[in-house]
């Protein structure tokens, strides 16, 4: 049983690249947390450290300062409790879809039953693609294969780095819907890095806005209706989009929105 309500806690996180006087500070004193069965979106301009933050959270990049705890345990490297999905899919071009889906579980020596494999393929509508290679798939199909591979690991936390950025609007929205179906059914939490304001508002129950001037978090806004039925056409969705856009474009404006 978890000793705290937080699944993930990031405390005082900082990252500096380069030696001596040539050091470049990318992140400074970053704090945030995410609960169980929760979602968090991270937004900000290019170069503000979003992907660096995600890689450190995943244990793929060591922080210069600060700590990351997952279910109360310090993260000092990749954890079996987390899975990562990247924009570039990470599929092996010489392996068929079926082999790509099983690859992560094989690396971790996890047994996957045929029932579990068929269930995730059915949920993501890729059950008839086993014999194909990645180059024979559409971008949306490739990303669903990448999601299936991650979900087979049964993660407590799913980390997504611009997963739908290369897709057209309709495909992007369909995959956002697929992600939410998995989220509600399989009871994991996720953190998504995105440049897309509408995507952040639709998926993130809280939204972290990175500030490139301070190298930290400029603001965190609550968005409790994210992912609820009909949210894309609700007044609160459009209001939150306007609020988020304003905060990104005017990060240091002192007066709150009316």
Residue 157 lies in a domain: no
Predicted pLDDT at 45: 83
Q: How confident is the model at residue 196, as a pLDDT?
A: 93
Q: Binning pLDDT at 50, 70 and 90, where does residue 233 land?
A: very high
Residue 164 domain-assigned (yes or no):
no
Q: Are 102 and 117 in contact (CB under 8 A)?
A: yes
d(CA 202, CA 180): 10
Is residue 122 a part of any domain in this protein?
A: no
Question: Are 165 and 196 spatial neighbours (Cβ–Cβ below 8 Å)?
Answer: yes
Residue 75 lies in a domain: yes
Residue ranges making up the domain that contains 37: 1-81+193-258
CA distance 217 to 209: 6
Contact present, 244 and 209 (Cβ < 8 Å): yes
pLDDT one-digit tens code per residue, 22-63: 788 899 999 999 999 999 999 988 878 899 999 999 999 999
In the chain, how many domains are there? 1
Asked if residue 147 lies in contact with residue 124, where contact means CB atoms within 8 angstroms, the answer is yes
| CATH value at residue 219 | 3.40.50.300
- The reply to whether 92 falls in a domain is no
pLDDT digits (tens, 9 = 90+) for 176-212: 998 999 999 889 999 999 999 999 999 999 999 998 8
Q: Is residue 8 part of a domain?
A: yes
Specify if 149 maps to a domain. no
C-alpha pair distances (Å), 106 with each of 59, 91, 111, 122: 20, 14, 8, 20
pLDDT of residue 231: 94
pLDDT at position 18: 80
pLDDT band at 109 (very low <50, low <70, confident <90, very high): confident
* pTM, rounded to two decimals: 0.90
Structural contact between residues 89 and 143, judged by C-beta atoms closer than 8 angstroms: yes
E runs forming strands in the chain? 6-17, 24-35, 39-43, 65-70, 73-74, 82-86, 157-161, 189-193, 206-211, 216-222
Is 109 among the domain residues? no
């Amino acid at each position: 049983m978890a000793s705290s309500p937080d699944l993930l806690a990031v405390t005082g996180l900082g990252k500096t690249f380069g030696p001596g006087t040539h050091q470049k500070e990318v992140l400074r004193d970053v704090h945030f947390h995410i609960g169980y069965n929760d979602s968090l979106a991270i937004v900000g301009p290019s170069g503000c450290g979003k992907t660096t933050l995600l890689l450190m959270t995943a244990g793929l990049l060591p922080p210069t300062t600060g700590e990351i705890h997952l279910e109360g345990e310090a993260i000092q490297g990749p954890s079996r409790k987390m899975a990562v999905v990247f924009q570039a899919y990470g599929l092996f071009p010489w392996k068929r879809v079926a082999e790509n889906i099983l690859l992560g579980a094989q690396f971790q020596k996890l047994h996957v039953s045929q029932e579990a494999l068929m269930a995730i393929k059915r949920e993501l509508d890729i059950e008839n693609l086993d014999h194909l290679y990645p180059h024979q798939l559409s971008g949306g199909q490739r990303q669903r294969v990448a999601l299936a591979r991650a979900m087979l690991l049964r993660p407590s936390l799913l980390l997504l780095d611009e997963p739908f950025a290369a897709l057209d609007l309709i495909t992007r929205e369909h995959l956002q819907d697929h992600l939410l179906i998995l989220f509600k059914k399989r009871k994991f939490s996720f953190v998504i890095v995105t440049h897309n304001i509408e995507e952040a508002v639709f998926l993130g129950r809280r939204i972290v806005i990175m500030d490139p001037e301070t190298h930290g978090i400029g603001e965190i806004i609550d968005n409790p209706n994210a992912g609820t039925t009909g949210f894309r056409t609700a007044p609160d969705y459009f209001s939150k989009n306007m609020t988020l856009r304003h905060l990104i474009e005017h990060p240091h404006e002192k007066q709150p929105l009316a």
